[in-house]
Amino acid sequence: MAAKKQQDQSQTKEKKSDAVRRVFNAMKDAGVEAKPVEIQRKLAEENIEVSSAQVSQVVKKMRGGTPARGKKELMFSIADLLAARKFISKIGSSEKAKELIDALGNESR
């Protein structure tokens, strides 16, 4: 009896992930950004209860497990830091240096 329950649960889980994939692909084909909450809402309309964590996990695997945006590492060499220190000392303050750099950035646009 216990083996049958495990089979039922694993089959149910697979059906849910297949449903997540189906809705994700349908939203993607329609040109809509497929957010986990939206996918969960669409599945709820079909009486399929899925946690947002499960949706997120399936969607992440479908997207190739790309890392979250905005987590860029900044790498500076010692030479970069020394050049920045020298520039700031020439200008007088880091605030003034930032203003100059911002002004340069605005002119190049």
DSSP characters for 62-88?
HTT-PPPTT-PPP---HHHHHHHHHHH
Q: What is the pLDDT of residues 19-57, one digit of tens each?
A: 888 998 898 888 888 888 888 999 999 888 888 888 888
Contacts of 49 (CB under 8 A, 6+ apart): 43
According to the model, what pLDDT value does residue 102 have? 87
Write the single-letter amino acid at 81.
L
Band (pLDDT 50/70/90 cuts) for residue 5 is low
| Residue 3 confidence (pLDDT) above 70 | no
What is the rounded average pLDDT of the residues 70-75? 66
pTM: 0.47
Half-sphere exposure of 96 (CA within 13 A, CB side): 8
According to the model, what pLDDT value does residue 90 have? 92
Write the single-letter amino acid at 46.
E
